[in-house]
Chain A
Amino acid sequence: MNKKQKKMLIRIITAALFMILLHLAYKTVGERQIDPADGSHINEVLIKEPVWFLLYMIPYLTVGYDILLKAWKGIKNRQVFDENFLMAVATLGAIGVALAEKNGDYTEAVAVMLFYQIGELFQSYAVGKSRRNISELMDIRPDYANIEKEDGSLEKKDPDEIEPGSMIVVNPGERIPIDGIVISGESTLDTAALTGESVPRRVLEGDDVISGCINLSGVIKIRTTKEFGESTVSRVLELVEESSSRKSRSEAFITRFAKIYTPAVCYSALALAIIPPVVRLVMGLEPMPGSWIYRALTFLVISCPCALVISIPLSFFAGIGGAGREGVLIKGSNYLEALSKTKIVAFDKTGTMTKGVFEVAAIHHATLSDDKLLYYAAHAECASSHPIAKSIINAYVRSDEGKMRAATRTVSGKLVSDIEEIPGGGMKATVDGVRVVLGNKKLMEKEGIAYLDCHKTGTVVHVALDGVYSGHILISDMIKPGARDAVTALHAAGVAKTVMLTGDAKAVGEAVADELGIDEVRTELLPEGKVEAVEKLLSEKKEKEMLVFVGDGINDAPVLGRADIGIAMGALGSDAAIEAADVVLMDDDPLKIAKAIRISSKCMRIVYENIIFAIGIKLICLLLGAMGAANMWLAIFADVGVMIIAVLNAIRALFVRKV
């Protein structure tokens, strides 16, 4: 509790005690008790008005002076219909009625103010608490970076001041402040805060490391590759902080609703206080203004929109926070809301449903030694980040030729020139003066090179050296362990159709789709083809159904942007993907897709529960109030009670581990 809240708590307790004492005192020495037998007074009233009035004003003002003050300022600034005004009018009105009817019962007015303040205090505490919970969750901001000075001692510097390419040292127990490459040392990293993955990751010299991970065992030296502001940790934090600024439709609805609702109830209250007594007067009945004013005042107490206005954004905030803890970063409440309506899920294959770690399975029809063919292929691919390129390079590095040539275990780029990447096709480059063309059969056809087909499923990379076909490399990919379960889980979460989009050959795509139980598959798509396929799917579906595209972020940015919701997987390294995606899965487990949908469904269920519950209870109480069946106590439940229940319900959205 902060200082403000503590002060409020003291005010509430003091006022409550005083009020209870006064109430008891009034019952014994202030009320005329009438003997039912003969109608005579049993006791003599010791303390009379206006002493009671003045005494009751003490707890009333103790607990409510600030409300009165705020209400007054509101009127001055022509901001009439806020809850301060409502509470001020309602309580002052109740006191007025009590004064006019000379029944000396001011307890109600004081209690209304008291409960209102209890509700406000609770709300502020609950919101503060969840705010802290969520920011602790995201407490991955590194405070400093260690720079090694010439004499070998370390200097702590603000990570913001570190230029890319600087050397930093990370000791065990410290967070890696900036993305970079390990130059020396080896260690294990705790990546849980970023990926939700609990098994520590081992890093060696030459490995890329991302900021935000905790170094667990050894001292490592890192050459930074980015500025702090561009590093993973900064981007993730930025994303989380921005996320609840994108408002969902439910939030927008509630804001609009509150704007109409409060004045509407106020005017109805006014009408309720004036019209019935006037009508009764005209009809020749007793007008009973006191009773109608009392009903109007209960109206005002019920009317406060707090429960709605606070609980809906809180549900979303908690939902986004809870999802973040599970390694699912959602960029806005609107996406959290939309996810629950997912009906079609389109996947990219490589890196999403398959490991994306291609391995060279075989080399066929090589006109020169296998190792030599790999040598040319690997060098031509040396600049590409495509998984296929990496697998060829890896195979080369592991081959005898590679071991002999490259002591540094890397492919040297010096021998290579004129690199040209053909999207959806392959690569062209000059290696050692030999013109190398490698890629799929489309590229071969385009280049007019006769090629031999491969009868095995897998990705086939044809290689031509100086325009002469020299064989092909067969590369196959592994399906991720959880991929099949992920598709089943998606269907269980209410997804009607799953589609796989891939640039791969028909046979490969269909084999994978079949194994995973994916409904439809579109193969041999270029990056533009994927966008077109998604657009076609979008035009076929109904307005309210959402289409999700899941990709690993490499070459997927346009498709991620085109889908209703773009999900990027394991994309912490890829800026373009983080930028283009609406949801980022921090690790690359496909099961998280269904989890994200389930989290969203849970959160939306809570949101609807709160909307229906809060509006429902209020309308019922308003109705009862208008008929005279509701007193102030019920009214205060309709306001504060509903708010407390709605807030507690909203906080449930934070707990999504087992969803």
Chain B
Amino acid sequence: MKKSYNIEVDCANCANKMEDAAKATKGVKDAVVNFMTLKMNVEFEEGADAKTVMQEVLKNCKKVEDDCEIFL
């Protein structure tokens, strides 16, 4: 399952970090952060619940870049 989320982040390097953090989250198969369009495309693993996984993703992203937001 794939989903796209709007995000808010200020710098391109931070976007890359968010991407890494999202990828490392359990239940996420792959994630791509597009800094130019401010979008995060997440591919979930089979059977993962998108909502709970995204809460974790947001938490992990906040850890690497305090000043970011994902609009769930």
How far, in whole Å, are A83 and B39 apart by their CA atoms in the complex?
Answer: 23
- The distance from the CB of A250 to the nearest CB of chain B, in whole angstroms, is 13
Chain A neighbourhood of B32, CB < 8 A: 245, 247
Chain B neighbourhood of A247, CB < 8 A: 32
Chain B neighbourhood of A123, CB < 8 A: 11
Chain A neighbourhood of B12, CB < 8 A: 306, 309-310, 313-314
- The distance from the CB of A185 to the nearest CB of chain B, in whole angstroms, is 37
Specify the chain A residue showing the minimal Cβ separation from B67.
A70
Chain B neighbourhood of A74, CB < 8 A: 66
Count residues of chain B with CB under 8 A from any CB of chain A: 20
- The distance from the CB of B53 to the nearest CB of chain A, in whole angstroms, is 19
Question: Which residues of A225-279 have CB atoms within 8 Å of chain B's CB atoms?
Answer: 241-242, 244-245, 247, 255, 258
Query: Contact: B11 with A310, CB < 8 Å?
Result: yes
Q: In this assembly, does B69 line the interface, its C-beta being within 8 Å of a C-beta of chain A?
A: no
- The distance from the CB of A67 to the nearest CB of chain B, in whole angstroms, is 11
Q: In this assembly, does A124 line the interface, its C-beta being within 8 Å of a C-beta of chain B?
A: yes
Contact with B along A482-512 (1 / 0, CB 8 A): 0000000000000000000000000000000
Q: In this assembly, does A317 line the interface, its C-beta being within 8 Å of a C-beta of chain B?
A: yes
Query: Contact: B36 with A314, CB < 8 Å?
Result: yes
Contact with B along A359-395 (1 / 0, CB 8 A): 0000000000000000000000000000000000000
Query: Contact: B13 with A244, CB < 8 Å?
Result: no
Choice from A124, A306, A313 contacting B36 with Cβ under 8 Å: A313
Which among B17, B36, B64, B65 has the greatest number of chain A C-beta atoms within 10 A? B36
Query: Contact: B36 with A244, CB < 8 Å?
Result: yes
- The distance from the CB of B52 to the nearest CB of chain A, in whole angstroms, is 22
Count residues of chain A with CB under 8 A from any CB of chain B: 27
Query: Contact: B13 with A83, CB < 8 Å?
Result: yes
- The distance from the CB of A424 to the nearest CB of chain B, in whole angstroms, is 37
How far, in whole Å, are A392 and B12 apart by their CA atoms in the complex?
Answer: 56
Query: Contact: B36 with A258, CB < 8 Å?
Result: no
Contact with A along B14-36 (1 / 0, CB 8 A): 10110000000000000010111
Contact with A along B29-62 (1 / 0, CB 8 A): 0001011111101000000000000000000000
How far, in whole Å, are A286 and B3 apart by their CA atoms in the complex?
Answer: 62
Query: Contact: A241 with B13, CB < 8 Å?
Result: no
Query: With A124-B10, A241-B37 in contact, do A70 and B16 touch (Cβ < 8 Å)?
Result: no
Chain B neighbourhood of A124, CB < 8 A: 10
Chain A neighbourhood of B35, CB < 8 A: 127, 313
Query: Contact: A77 with B64, CB < 8 Å?
Result: yes
Question: Which residues of A292-317 have CB atoms within 8 Å of chain B's CB atoms?
Answer: 305-306, 309-310, 313-314, 317
Query: With A79-B63, A241-B39 in contact, do A306 and B13 touch (Cβ < 8 Å)?
Result: yes
Query: Contact: B16 with A79, CB < 8 Å?
Result: no
How far, in whole Å, are A123 and B41 apart by their CA atoms in the complex?
Answer: 24
Specify the chain B residue showing the minimal Cβ separation from A310.
B12
Query: Contact: A309 with B11, CB < 8 Å?
Result: yes
- The distance from the CB of A540 to the nearest CB of chain B, in whole angstroms, is 34
Specify the chain A residue showing the minimal Cβ separation from B4.
A241
Query: Contact: B64 with A245, CB < 8 Å?
Result: no
Question: Which residues of A29-67 have CB atoms within 8 Å of chain B's CB atoms?
Answer: none
How far, in whole Å, are A74 and B17 apart by their CA atoms in the complex?
Answer: 12
- The distance from the CB of A80 to the nearest CB of chain B, in whole angstroms, is 11
Question: Which residues of A131-169 have CB atoms within 8 Å of chain B's CB atoms?
Answer: 131, 134
Choice from B13, B34, B63, B67 contacting A77 with Cβ under 8 Å: B63
Q: In this assembly, does A442 line the interface, its C-beta being within 8 Å of a C-beta of chain B?
A: no
Query: With A131-B36, A131-B37 in contact, do A73 and B10 touch (Cβ < 8 Å)?
Result: no
Q: In this assembly, does A82 line the interface, its C-beta being within 8 Å of a C-beta of chain B?
A: yes
Chain A neighbourhood of B41, CB < 8 A: 242, 245
Query: Contact: B63 with A309, CB < 8 Å?
Result: no
- The distance from the CB of A120 to the nearest CB of chain B, in whole angstroms, is 8
Contact with B along A577-615 (1 / 0, CB 8 A): 000000000000000000000000000000000000000
Excluding A74-B66, A244-B37, A245-B37, 16 further A-B contacts by CB distance (< 8 Å) are A70-B66, A73-B66, A79-B17, A82-B14, A83-B11, A120-B10, A131-B36, A131-B37, A131-B38, A134-B36, A244-B34, A244-B36, A305-B13, A306-B13, A313-B35, A314-B12
Q: List 6 A–B pairs whose Cβ atoms lie within 8 Å, in order of A's numbering.
A: A131-B37, A241-B37, A306-B12, A309-B13, A310-B12, A310-B13
